[in-house]
Amino acid sequence: MKSDKIAKRTEEITPFIVMEIMEKIYEMEAAGLDVVHMEIGEPDFNPPECVKLSVDEAFDTHNTDYTHSLGDIRLRNAISEYYKKNYNVDVNPGQVLVSSGTSPAMLLLFSALVNPSDEIIISDPHYACYPSFIKFSNGIPVNIPVCEENGFQFTPRAIKEKITDKTKAILINSPSNPTGNLMSKERMKEISDIAVSNDIYIISDEIYHGLVYEGKEHSILECTDSAFVLNGFSKLFAMTGLRLGYLIAPEEFMRPLQILQQNFFISANSVIQAAGTAALKCAEKETREMRKIYNKRRKYMIKRLKQMGLGISVEPTGAFYIFANVKHISADSYSLALDILEKAHVGVTPGIDFGINGEGYLRFSYANSMENLEKGLDRLENYFTGQ
């Protein structure tokens, strides 16, 4: 029920369904039920050892003060070095803003970029919260369906057809949530050329970089400087609850972004910034091992889900998600996900959470131990066999 006392902009934000499912699972677990988590994109690994040591050292040396509002220069330098090493691009540390997670960086980005009625082009399906950030900034998300038949890929032609005089940016996400697909450098270059020729920006969500099992991920900064890059430490470095992210932005946006950060967040957590610096410099061996384990889980889950009759014509090659077609089972992915949770005690995410074009799909996360995944897949097999 809506109330005149509550700001209208908050009432227009829809729930983040996967979080609601996760919270329902927590309630079930508190009641003594055993539930297997395949709904949430949260690594089951501990953060790298160097992260823990850096946190201990920060407290021991009393490194717990505010940092520069843009972030500790040591971390911003490390991010610059990381992008040079991995993508051979030059990132000025002065064009990096460190935030308490990638979500606050996204909020600052759209606050600085979007004027009322500006349009941001996004894929459908897409990360569930993109439209909420855009709408909260008084912008308009413009959806472009990306279909299983085309590998869930943005096409330059479809983007061109959606560009208007109100278009402010095109948002891409590779590897993608929820589909796990990877965009080629050639396709990224085509899209960046469209953006440049229409004097609009590219926003590249690169949070799943480093979690690629076939092919290679590319940063949009390899194609254009007229871009914003979102990235962070939650996924690759298993640092979800530590909340650390960053935004790389064109130079002309840095002062407005800094002012917003000063007013709304002051700075990111200084101790966790030290942890992020350590992660970028010292955790490569551990992240490489995590990636090998994820890949084993990916292959196992794809095989098992296909054996159950779920449609996976586009196998994911990045992130830690499988987006499976269940239209032959139900046209209501939300009800299906809740039914699976209630009867099989397995948490999965309904495709509708990711946009209208995600309806008829379920997203399965393999960011859980192989033991738990095997148990969950056995339960799912029993569930689908009884359909």
Each residue's pLDDT tens digit, 259-309: 999 999 999 999 999 999 999 999 999 999 999 999 999 999 999 999 999
Q: Which residues are registered as beta bridge partners of 311?
A: 325
Each residue's pLDDT tens digit, 84-116: 999 999 999 999 999 999 999 999 999 999 999
Of 255, 282, 309, which marks where a domain is finished?
A: 282
Query: Is the Cα dihedral 287, 288, 290, 294 positive or negative?
Result: positive
Q: What is the pLDDT of residue 366?
A: 97
pTM above 0.85, yes or no: yes
Q: What is the pLDDT of residue 7?
A: 85
Dist. CA 312–CA 303, nearest whole Å = 10
Q: Which residues are registered as beta bridge partners of 96?
A: 248
Domain that holds residue 245: 49-282
Of 265, 282, 299, which marks where a domain is finished?
A: 282
Q: What is the pLDDT of residue 387?
A: 58
Name the residue among 94, 88, 97, 67 with its Cα closest to residue 230: 97
Residues 29 and 73 in one domain: no
Mean pLDDT of 139-164: 95
Of 282, 311, 345, which marks where a domain is finished?
A: 282
Whether 111 is covered by a domain: the verdict is: yes
Name the residue among 185, 180, 375, 383 with its Cα closest to residue 294: 180
Residues 308 and 374 in one domain: yes
For residue 343, the domain's CATH number is: 3.90.1150.10
Q: Kind of pairing, strands 361-365 and 321-325?
A: antiparallel
**Does 198 have pLDDT greater than 70?**
yes
CA dihedral of 98, 100, 105, 108, whole degrees rounded to 10: -100
Each residue's pLDDT tens digit, 311-352: 999 999 999 999 999 999 999 999 999 999 999 999 999 999
Residues 27 and 65 in one domain: no
Domain count along the chain: 2
For residue 119, the domain's CATH number is: 3.40.640.10
Residues 42 and 53 in one domain: no
Dist. CA 40–CA 320, nearest whole Å = 10
User: What is the chain's mean pLDDT, rounded?
Assistant: 95
Q: What is the pLDDT of residue 92?
A: 97
How far from 268 is each of 72, 74, 117, 353, CA to CA, in Å?
A: 9, 13, 30, 29
Q: Which residues are registered as beta bridge partners of 171?
A: 203
